[in-house]
Amino acid sequence: MTPYELLGLVAIIAVVRVALSLRPVATVSSGRSTSIAKEYLDPFIYAGIAAWLLITFVARTYYIPSASMVPTLQIHDVLLVDKFEYRFRKPTEGDVVVFPPPIPTPDDFIKRVIGLPGERFRITKGVVYINDVALSEPYIAQPPNYDLEIRNYGIYVNDGFGWHALDPSQANVPPKSEWTSANTIPPNCYFMMGDNRNDSDDSHVWGFAQVAGKFATGPRAGERAGFTGRAFLIFWPLSQAKILR
């Protein structure tokens, strides 16, 4: 249930509660039934408002529908996502993050933060390099089967058919004026990857995720960007329960 759906349900219960309070009491018996109805409805209203505040501003559950984060996250896992943490700090390398991607979709995506603003980033022969240092990634299912470089104000991918730059009409790649260097990740931009590297629709396809501002290019150019929160706990199924880094 989304925050809007929950708020709508609370509103319906509140309307019923008000209607009952305004209803004329004809007999002792009907007055007693109305009192009982109010007694049961009030706790639902208070609990609903508290739940809405919680999932809107603090934490929320998310369901995993795909295999893009295997082996870290399995299909049907249910996560708890902290929506409060990024109000006080920036995302860091390794965070598992829920966010709206820069492509049209009704749902948020969940990926791992790999590249940060201001970093040099490349993938060579299946190894990710940050500032020319190989990244240790014990969490991945397999190395990526493509090479990638951030250079010349763009994201260049070689998937076995030669190098090509991601098209700004199809991917979020800010214009040159928004970069601080031709070969480093632009401000507010993050390179996101699924742990199941070769079965993940991620930044090597649709460009950078953004922690703030509006998407610079791509199908959602001009729409508000941001990170929903950091996934920190798998709590269902119980056999998979664990704290995420």
- Note the pLDDT tens digit of each residue in 202-238: 999 999 999 999 999 999 999 999 999 999 888 888 8
For residue 212, give the 3-state DSSP assignment: coil
Q: Are residues 92 and 40 in the same domain?
A: no
pLDDT for residue 102:
96
Q: Are residues 173 and 75 in the same domain?
A: yes
Is 35 or 105 the better-scoring residue by pLDDT?
Answer: 105
> How many folded domains does the chain comprise?
2
Out of 32, 57, 82, a domain closes at: 57
Provide the 10 A C-beta neighbour count for residue 75. 12
**Span 117-132, mean pLDDT?**
97
How many residues can be counted in the chain? 245
Q: Are residues 173 and 85 in the same domain?
A: yes
- Return d(Cα 156, Cα 163) in angstroms, integer: 6
- Ranking 4-8, 67-71, 131-135, 209-213 by mean pLDDT, the lowest is 4-8
CATH at 73: 2.10.109.10
Q: Are residues 207 and 100 in the same domain?
A: yes
Q: Are residues 87 and 51 in the same domain?
A: no
Q: Are residues 80 and 30 in the same domain?
A: no
Q: Are residues 42 and 146 in the same domain?
A: no
- Which is catalytic among the residues 68, 83, 200, 203? 68
Q: What is the mean pLDDT of the chain?
A: 84
Q: Are residues 31 and 99 in the same domain?
A: no
Is the distance from CB of 244 to CB of 232 less than 8 angstroms? yes
Tell me how far apart the 2 most distant CA atoms of the chain are, in Å. 84
Bridge partners (DSSP) listed for residue 156: 149, 165
- Return d(Cα 187, Cα 208) in angstroms, integer: 11
Percent of residues, the chain, with pLDDT higher than 70: 76
- Return d(Cα 168, Cα 189) in angstroms, integer: 14
Q: Are residues 212 and 192 in the same domain?
A: yes
* Phi, psi values for residue 228, rounded to 5°: -70, -45
Contacts made by residues 163-167, CB under 8 angstroms, sequence distance 24+: 166/205, 166/206, 166/207
Examine the pLDDT at 96 and tell me if it is beyond 70.
yes
Examine the pLDDT at 199 and tell me if it is beyond 60.
yes
Q: Are residues 10 and 87 in the same domain?
A: no
Examine the pLDDT at 4 and tell me if it is beyond 50.
no
- Return d(Cα 196, Cα 39) in angstroms, integer: 51
- Which is catalytic among the residues 35, 90, 111, 203? 111
Does 68 qualify as catalytic in the annotation?
Answer: yes
Q: Are residues 206 and 169 in the same domain?
A: yes
Report residue 6's pLDDT band, with 50, 70 and 90 as the boundaries.
very low
Beta strand 154-158 with 147-151 is antiparallel
Q: Are residues 68 and 186 in the same domain?
A: yes
pLDDT for residue 238:
82
Out of 57, 83, 99, a domain closes at: 57
- The residue range of the domain holding 21 is 3-57
